[in-house]
Amino acid sequence: MGTSLRPTHSRLPALPPRPELPDPDHADCRSVASILARVGDKWSVFVIMMLSDGPKRFNELKRMINGISQRMLTLTLRGLERDGLVTRTIFPTIPPRVDYELTDLGRGLQQPVMALGEWAKTHQEQIAAARTRFDERSGT
């Protein structure tokens, strides 16, 4: 006896229509995510921290932020300027002098960024130990 591949119960009741779920507007989430991506970026955090005590020149920032390349500092400063967190002032000297400074908006971000940086410094050993334990358990 062969097996029939034809359905024997083809008259199934239709499922009731599902009520249309409102299509949530994710614009707010995307907007907040893009802002958090900027202010949560490690280089942005360092720049904001370094500018917290006043304006700095490009090379001064570069010396203060260990490990940042010239290109990454340029991109970070442009992004912060675009978001209204930093101003760039060019002085008509030879060679031209360019200063970067936090705006009022950027100064409003100072306290949370500094708190996050301090938290990271305070807990770096605990985080490193937790990572080691996790990696040992996971075999990574």
Instruction: Quick: pLDDT tens for 30-88.
Output: 778 877 777 778 899 899 999 999 999 999 999 999 999 999 999 999 999 999 999 99
Instruction: Tell me the three state secondary structure of residue 112.
Output: helix
Residue 25, domain member (yes or no):
no
Q: What is d(CA 38, CA 100) in angstroms, rounded to the nearest whole number?
A: 17
- Give mean pLDDT, residues 8-37: 63
User: Which residues span the domain enclosing 87?
Assistant: 31-138
pTM of the model: 0.70
Q: Which strands, in side-by-side order, build the sheet including 97-102?
A: 56-57, 97-102, 86-91
Number of domains making up the chain = 1
Residue 24, domain member (yes or no):
no
Residue 2, domain member (yes or no):
no
Instruction: Tell me the three state secondary structure of residue 61.
Output: helix
CATH classification at residue 78: 1.10.10.10
